[in-house]
Amino acid sequence: MSDRAAAAVEAAIAGEAKLDAHKLRRDFPIFQQRFHGKPLAYLDSAVSAQKPRQVLDALREFYETSYTNVHRGVYLLAERATERFEGSREQVRAFINAASTREIVFTRSATEALNLVAYAWGLDNLGPGDLVVATELEHHSNFVPWQQIAKRSGATFRPIPVDGSGELQLDALDAIAKQGRVKVVANNLVSNALGTINPVEQLAAWAHQQGAIMVVDAAQAAPHRRIDVQQLGCDFLAFSSHKLCGPTGVGVLWGRAELLERMSPFNFGGEMIRKVTVEETSWNELPYKFEAGTPPIGEAVAMGAAIDYLTAIGIEAIGEHEHTLTAYTLERLADVPGVHVFGPPAGRRAGIVSFDVKGVHPHDVAQILDFEGVAIRAGHHCCQPLMTRLGVAATNRASFYLYTIPEEIGRLVEGLHKVNTTFGVGRVRGESGVRG
């Protein structure tokens, strides 16, 4: 670890960093509980973030004072509910610097947002001779919809390969482009499995040179990095509320208005129509054309409170804090016998560290850590093509957020020493450290 990184960890431990994680933790009621008699070291924020009291209070306050259905009633309460719901849309717009709230579609999740684009754009625009390009690094939710829509439409599906440390092999792009007309490029901004930060702006430029659209999965990026959809140069971007301290059940699709205008609806039903006759139906204006039925009203309002919460802390400070923790974790894990870390060096990754312990199944590792009160993820992380590429069935994954403190990484390391004691893994020189 560089002197600067070491100083950052020390500052974090002393509570002198830009972001005071010790203080912020007090906002999260979950940390008042003990698990297996120990304080909770929640190192699984990539799966879902914990919720601060400010968000929980906003949800309750909305239901207690302002709740009914939206866009329907003319009475005062209905107007208030609609105003709060649409206010949240404006907060999302500002959060990702979209040009207009017409481009912000509320969905159930990032998964639904990505399916919306794959179905509504893909089925009308793809056919034989077209190429749909995703990456080997995608979460299944930005992989399977494109694979399946390619199959249905007769297009060809081609993932961009990754190298042994999980970084995209962009030198494969020319060969891919020779295989057909590239129509879609789909990539996550941050990999949920390895934490790799992907060169999305570069890919978007390439996609546009090919005449393709660029679809960005920002589920692991939006909670931790400033998103500017106009600067990224993409055409669609998706994320979920629950990974940024908001409630489950609501996600966001941002799309360029001119593309959304030309797309068919994804779901049919109430609210998304302008006029319905026995013979024909015409569609509502943006974004309502894509919001059939009752939307996740309270959830969207509380997502707005989560955005306020993150913005007040400072999204850059959050990213910096996680970066410090990641560098610290890589340093500490290098000293644990039998531990191999997957993925790029700290400089090119977000707050996610995937690893395995030689000869011990990831589920056993996670279970022993659980008895120590340390919660990590074990599995394929919804990235089976990536696991195949790395030659493993599963990994362990520790992931961080604004409430993660260095002491929890210390507890992770202590727990891994216990795993080694339990399974008799001895120190073998040269077997720890980052592996490609």
Ligand X SMILES: Cc1ncc(COP(=O)(O)O)c(C=O)c1O
Residues that bind ligand X (CB under 6 A): 109-111, 139, 141-142, 188, 192, 217, 219-220, 240, 242
Query: 244 or 357, CB closer to ligand X?
Result: 244
- Which ranges of 36-121 would DSSP assign to H, the alpha helix? 53-65, 76-96, 110-117
CB 217 within 8 A of CB 113: no
Query: 193 or 315, CB closer to ligand X?
Result: 193
Query: 111 or 395, CB closer to ligand X?
Result: 111
- Determine what percent of the chain falls in helix, strand and coil, rounding each to the nearest 5: 45, 20, 35
- Which ranges of 199-294 would DSSP assign to H, the alpha helix? 200-209, 229-232, 257-262
Min separation Cβ 379 and ligand X, Å: 11
Query: 119 or 416, CB closer to ligand X?
Result: 119
Q: Is 382 a catalytic residue?
A: yes
Min separation Cβ 314 and ligand X, Å: 23
Query: 184 or 425, CB closer to ligand X?
Result: 184
Residue 86, classified by CB atoms within 10 Å of its CB into exposed (0-12), middle (13-18) or buried (19+), is middle
DSSP summary character for residue 253: E
Min separation Cβ 347 and ligand X, Å: 20
Min separation Cβ 241 and ligand X, Å: 8
Min separation Cβ 397 and ligand X, Å: 11
- The catalytic position among 234, 245, 382, 383 is 382
Output the six-digit token pair for 414: 């202590």
Output the six-digit token pair for 190: 């941050």
CB 296 within 8 A of CB 63: no
Query: 160 or 219, CB closer to ligand X?
Result: 219
| Residues found in the chain | 436
Strands 181-188 and 213-217 turn out to be parallel
Considering only CA atoms, which of 52, 8, 27, 45 is closest in space to residue 351?
Answer: 45
Return d(Cα 381, Cα 134) in angstroms, integer. 17
Query: 219 or 302, CB closer to ligand X?
Result: 219
Considering only CA atoms, which of 63, 219, 212, 88 is closest in space to residue 141?
Answer: 219
Considering only CA atoms, which of 316, 398, 330, 418 is closest in space to residue 36?
Answer: 418
Question: Which residues contact residue 91 at a Cβ distance below 8 angstroms, ignoring those fewer than 6 apart?
Answer: 303, 304, 307, 308
Considering only CA atoms, which of 139, 134, 110 is closest in space to residue 122?
Answer: 134
Return d(Cα 358, Cα 423) in angstroms, integer. 10
Query: 12 or 55, CB closer to ligand X?
Result: 55
Min separation Cβ 247 and ligand X, Å: 11
What is the maximum span of the chain, computed from C-alpha positions, in angstroms? 76
Min separation Cβ 110 and ligand X, Å: 4
Considering only CA atoms, which of 325, 344, 370, 375 is closest in space to residue 11?
Answer: 325
Min separation Cβ 106 and ligand X, Å: 13
Torsion of CA 161, 167, 169, 170, to 10 degrees: 120
Rounded to whole angstroms, what are the CA distances from 278 to 100, 146, 335? 34, 34, 71
Q: Which amino acid is at 362?
A: P
**What positions carry a catalytic annotation?**
382
